């Protein structure tokens, strides 16, 4: 936007009025169709159909809450899985599987020592 000095304000007003008179001479106003006026009035006053009754912010809020719940469930599932993996790693969880792994390792290590001799 151009900066207008206060002393140039009168000149600008004269330019605007000359543009207005030129447009008035070129274009003639028309009457609007009643259907167009009614449709525009309905759009502007906010008369909506059954799906438009809920405001947009309400729908956004519902989607946001749903996404947050799904995200929280995924986070909790991942945290539980990480805790279980940690407990299995420090041999507090796993029971028989841990014992089988120990016996397999001891058998395979004894076989490798026998093979070296």
pLDDT in tens, 35-82: 999 888 888 887 566 655 666 678 888 999 999 999 999 999 999 999
pTM over 0.75: no
Domain ranges of the chain: 6-45+56-116
Res 103: pLDDT: 65
Which pLDDT score, from 0 to 100, does residue 60 have?
Answer: 86
Q: Which residues of 20-57 are buried (b: 16+ CB within 10 A; e: fewer)?
A: eeeeeeeeeeeeeeeeeeeeeeeeeeeeeeeeeeeeee
CB 68 within 8 A of CB 61: no
Query: How far is Cα 2 from Cα 20, in angstroms, rounded to an integer?
Result: 20
Percentage of residues of the chain with pLDDT beyond 70 = 61
Torsion of CA 84, 86, 92, 93, to 10 degrees: 30
* pLDDT digit string, tens, across residues 100-109: 666 666 666 6
Q: What is the rounded CA–CA span in Å between residue 110 and residue 112?
A: 5
How many angstroms separate the CA atoms of 76 and 70, rounded?
A: 10
Backbone angles phi, psi at 27, to 5 degrees: -115, 140
Average pLDDT over residues 11-40: 85
């Amino acid at each position: 936007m151009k900066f207008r000095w206060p002393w140039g304000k009168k000149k600008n007003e004269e330019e605007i009025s000359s543009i207005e008179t030129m447009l008035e001479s070129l274009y003639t106003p028309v009457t609007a169709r009643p259907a167009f006026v009614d449709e525009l009035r309905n759009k502007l006053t906010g008369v909506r159909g059954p799906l438009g009754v809920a405001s947009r912010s309400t729908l956004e809020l519902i989607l946001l809450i749903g996404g947050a719940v799904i995200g929280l469930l995924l986070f909790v599932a991942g945290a539980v899985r990480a805790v279980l993996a940690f407990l299995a790693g420090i041999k507090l969880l796993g029971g028989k599987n841990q014992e089988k792994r120990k016996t397999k390792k001891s058998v395979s290590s004894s076989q490798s020592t026998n093979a070296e001799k």
